[in-house]
Amino acid sequence: MKITLLTNEFPPYVYGGAGVHVEYLSKSLATLPDAGNTVDILCFGDQKIKEGSLTARGVKPDFVLPAQNPQFAKLMDTLARNVMMSGSAAPMDIVHCHTWYTHFGGCILQKLFNAPLVLTTHSLEPHRPWKVEQLGTAYHVSTWLERTAYQNADGVVAVSESMRRDVHELYGVPHDRIRVIPNGIDPEEYHPTPDPALLGAYGIDPALPFVLFVGRITRQKGVLHLINAIRHLRPGTQVVLCAGAPDTPEIGEEMKKKVEEARKDSAHPIIWIPQMLPKREVISLYTHAAVFICPSVYEPFGIINLEAMACETPVVASRVGGIPEVVVPGETGLLVAFDPKGPDDFEPKDPAKFSHDLAEATNSLLDNAELRRSMSKKARKRVEEHFAWTQVARRTYHFYQELIQNHGRP
């Protein structure tokens, strides 16, 4: 099968879960036994990768489209790259897009080559209203592009049951076009990997337990709520924030001020690592952390929870989106209730209570070493049994086969 994947993120330019997904899914599809697939990836950047039957080619225009407003520049650049993707792709049996950043190109290729169009639902624009801060009114264009693609797609991969419901309710995609196929993890890469020297390099005291956050600085990830929770954590707890790539300079400054205030308001050591770390370092930090915290206000799946669980670290996470399909409360971690302001406002109705509840759940694990040990083993076992990338790739491939077989039928 000739498979074309369109994506914004691909190594070495990965900053979120969608990029992780495409990296591992593409490798697994290219190496599926007895499938004979070729995988051609078109991505944003300057990549030129050839590994067996997998190729990855970056697209980057050598011109700048005019924009009436600086906030529109990212949209115009995205549209230019989509056109370049459409002109660069070789004939394919199926075209598979990841995030709205490539939906325009996918719709074009669907028509040019009469190939089934597949979209993976990593997130949905109407459920990310804070993107207005980053895109301005271009956010309404990204939402329109997304809606158009979903209404024309031959098939949709939802990474959780929660996303399956959202795709159907928001865009009217029929249930028979949607398959729930979760994100995955490579348990051979993500496994307990101690590195005490790394802790020292970042100023983390190995004698004190620490809680860990890993993610982008964005409203979606809820990191500001976690910072507000620090004052409620049990004494003697370190907080390590691997938080970089702010959506906007403004939220980056807000994060900086919040951290400064938290350092003044509590005696907890706060280690903020503002850059995106190499994978091996993140794996070691997961390994050493007493608890991993995922305070997201919107999370279609939450691949970072899988990463922590694979490294035998219990998780405290907000009960939103697909997270309850990953974290089993009482077995692999704890879930914190999240009550949003409204159907289109994903901020907590009571921010102080949400932050306090995050801290209370975390404290209950910090105070019970035996429970943490039990959860760590069950977390690893759950990852191995349900979320290996080979399983994800096989289910995706079978969905491709079904779509190709039915393509063009009334």
Q: What is the pLDDT of residues 77-114, one digit of tens each?
A: 999 999 999 999 999 999 999 999 999 999 999 999 99
CB neighbour list of residue 99: distance below 8 Å, 6 or more residues apart: 7, 8, 18, 122, 123
What fold is seen in the domain 2-184+388-406?
Rossmann fold (3.40.50)
Architecture of domain 196-386: 3-Layer(aba) Sandwich (3.40)
One fold for both 2-184+388-406 and 196-386? Answer: yes
Sign of CA dihedral 73, 79, 80, 85: positive
What is the distance of C-alpha 69 from the center of its chain? 29
Cβ count near 64 (within 10 Å): 10
Q: Phi and psi for 213 in degrees, rounded to 5?
A: -120, 140
pTM of the predicted protein model: 0.85
Give the model's confidence band at 17: pLDDT under 50 very low, under 70 low, under 90 confident, else very high.
Answer: confident
Q: What is the pLDDT of residues 213-250, one digit of tens each?
A: 999 898 889 999 999 999 999 999 999 999 998 888 89
Domain ranges of the chain: 2-184+388-406, 196-386
Q: What is the pLDDT of residues 308-354, one digit of tens each?
A: 999 999 999 999 989 999 999 999 999 999 988 877 677 899 999 99
C-alpha to C-alpha distances, 22 to 96, 215, 383, nearest whole angstrom: 10, 18, 19
